[in-house]
Amino acid sequence: MRVEIRPAARLRGTNAVDLLPALGPALDAVIADPEVDLTRLRVTADWVQYRRSFRPPVMLVPSTGGDALELAVDLRRAHDAETTANAVAAAFHAHRNGSGAGAHRTLEEWTPTSRSLIWRFNALYWQHLRAWEEATGHGYESALPGGRSGAREDEPVRAMIKALFAVWDSLARRRALPEELYVVELGVGNGSQARTWLDAFRELDAEHGHRYYRRLHYLMGDYSPHVLELARAAVAEHAQHVSSLVLDAQRPMTALGFLRFKVFLVYISNVYDNLPTDEIATIGQREHLVQTRAYLDEADAVAIAAGVAATPDALGGLVDKLLQLGPTLLAEAAPGHIPDPAAGVAFWRACWSALRLQERYVPLHGLDTYEIAPGISGELLRPMTATGGDLRLHAANGAAASFADTLPLLHPFGRLQCHDIFITATDQYRTGFRGPGKYDGSVVNWVNGPLLAHIGARMGFDVAFAPFTPSGSNIVTLTADVRD
């Protein structure tokens, strides 16, 4: 039996995690079960930082490639000895009986996490954000790390604009500055970043005296029409220079292909952490894909079903309708269960809150058989998996697709700047839980920075990471500049 304790940094200091109350009962329960093959068992201990996550405090993760098992323990929540021991025993019992996580209602078949229905919930959140905000009474930005979108600090914005002016001045001297100067922002939030940026641009341009503002085209792209509407209102003063469009952040070229090699700055904030991702695990020198299956605990399912005058068996159908129609139309489609849109939102929130993911490891026959995104082979993960030992990391499929599809927009002297919660070194996956978690009604994962750096390098960009300043949050600034 191997025991892997990941949150090493939390084992010391004033708020140190006390290992024994969590791990002791779990290990005792395992050892006490004579049917458990201890030689094939891995025990992994994480400290799941999300207040709301898809993980129960104790979870058994099987492998389809043999009889190896992983017992995953959340040190933050598994602190009651009796509860933990019972949960371990129940997990093994359920595994032997072929029912996975125990008494529960599964909502989908096994699938790579990037295709799980949690992403349909995520899409629902952005499409019906206004309804969610009205029900919760707070704006989505309050759910972001640090409480708001990370890039409305004035000084970094001014520095960014001055760097842009320097490039444009240089091109102008060589008679190579295009007439139209394009800047793109993906994931515009409520428009405050755009407003700050445009205000600063206009002011600095007036000081500078080159009249770049007159030639500026600022394109705002976002998946959420509601968010875009807010953003448009925020930048109304600059309306002549701003266009907005609904787009899929994973395929920006679909909407912005006409700007290929023409954009001088692409700005992205808090988008990548909200895009679908798989996880790849190297266990015993073999790579596995993590597959998941969404479910509700039986007790939660019974309570939610009772709240909408339905049987637990009918929940799956209602959830599917919710995800297809949204909370408002659900009230029209199922008035016997959902009398009005407010009840639709309440049902949505209850399901989301209770939603969990089962996990299993499925062996991969080589990283090159796994595609991270169109045209991006899983081989690009090899520099990380080859660092030795067991490792579980994000494939960052959505972020990789978005990043790779955004770089071609950049002018030969263009730059991409992105603020997000990035992993910047492989070892960070060995020392902490990096998602998925829940932020308000959306899914959040840390973003695999080294992978994006590899993708950037293959596409001719140097990718650098720096702490976001002024900070205090986990936000990191990624900058991609043309290399060579």
Cα→Cα distances 160→33, 153, 204, 423, Å = 60, 11, 11, 23
| Closer Cβ to another protein, 343 or 404, answer by number | 404
Site string for another protein, 185-204 (x = CB under 8 A): --------------------
Nearer to another protein, 346 or 482 (CB): 482
Contact flag: residue 459 with another protein (CB under 8 A): yes
> Among residues 297, 379, 390, 481, which is the contact residue for another protein, using CB under 8 A?
379
Residue 458 found at the interface with another protein (CB under 8 A): yes
Near another protein by CB under 8 A, which window of 173-181, 188-196, 244-252, 335-343? 173-181
Residues 266-285 within binding reach of another protein (CB under 8 A) = none
Smallest distance, Å, CB 383 to another protein?
Answer: 8
Strand order in the sheet with 41-46: 2-5, 41-46, 69-74, 58-62
Applying CB under 8 A, which of residues 77, 329, 408, 474 lies at the interface with another protein? 408
Residue matched to tokens 């993590």: 290
User: Considering beta carbons, is residue 177 or 421 the nearer one to another protein?
Assistant: 177
Min dist CB 111 to another protein, Å, is 27
Q: Are 10 and 51 in contact (CB under 8 A)?
A: no
Contact assessment for residue 446 and residue 394, using Cβ atoms and an 8 Å cutoff: yes
How far is the C-alpha of 70 from the C-alpha of 154, rounded, in Å? 47
Collapsing DSSP states into helix, strand and coil, what is residue 223? Answer: coil
**CB of residue 403 vs another protein: minimum separation in angstroms?**
14
* Best CA proximity match to 447, nearest among 472, 468, 419, 473: 419
Give yes or no for residue 167 binding another protein (CB under 8 A): no
Could you say whether residue 178 binds another protein (CB under 8 A)?
yes
The pair phi, psi for residue 184, each rounded to 5°, is: -120, 135
Question: Which of 12, 174, 179, 388 is in the footprint of another protein by CB under 8 A?
Answer: 174
Does position 377 interact with another protein (CB under 8 A)? The reply is yes
Kind of pairing, strands 422-423 and 376-377?
Answer: unpaired
Strand, coil or helix: 219: strand
Q: Judge whether 106 and 86 are in contact, CB under 8 Å.
A: no
Question: How far apart are the two ends of the chain, measured CA to CA in Å?
Answer: 49
- Give the nearer residue to another protein in terms of CB position, either 161 or 409: 409
Only one of the segments 67-75, 151-159, 282-290, 453-461 lies at the binding site for another protein (rule: CB under 8 A); that segment is 453-461
Tell me: does residue 67 bind another protein (CB under 8 A).
no
Is 179 a binding residue for another protein by CB under 8 A? The answer is no
**62, 325, 457, 471: which one binds another protein (CB under 8 A):** 457
Residue 368 as a binder of another protein (CB under 8 A): the answer is yes
261 belongs to the binding site for another protein (CB under 8 A) = yes
In DSSP notation, 13-72 reads STT---HHHHHHHHHHHHHH-TTS-GGGEEEEEE----SSBS--SEEEEEBTTSS-EEEE
**Candidate list 62, 156, 225, 460; residue touching another protein; CB under 8 A:** 460
Binds another protein (CB under 8 A): choice among 411, 415, 434, 438: 411
Going by the DSSP 8-state scheme, the letter that residue 140 receives in this structure is G
Do 25 and 82 meet the contact criterion of CB atoms below 8 Å apart? yes
Q: Report how many residues bind another protein under the rule CB under 8 A.
A: 18
* CB of 2 or CB of 483, closer to another protein: 483
Q: Which residues pair with 105 in a beta bridge?
A: 296
**According to DSSP H, which parts of 397-448 are helical?**
397-406
Binding site for another protein (CB under 8 A): 174, 176, 178, 261, 368, 375, 377, 379, 408, 411-412, 457-461, 482, 484
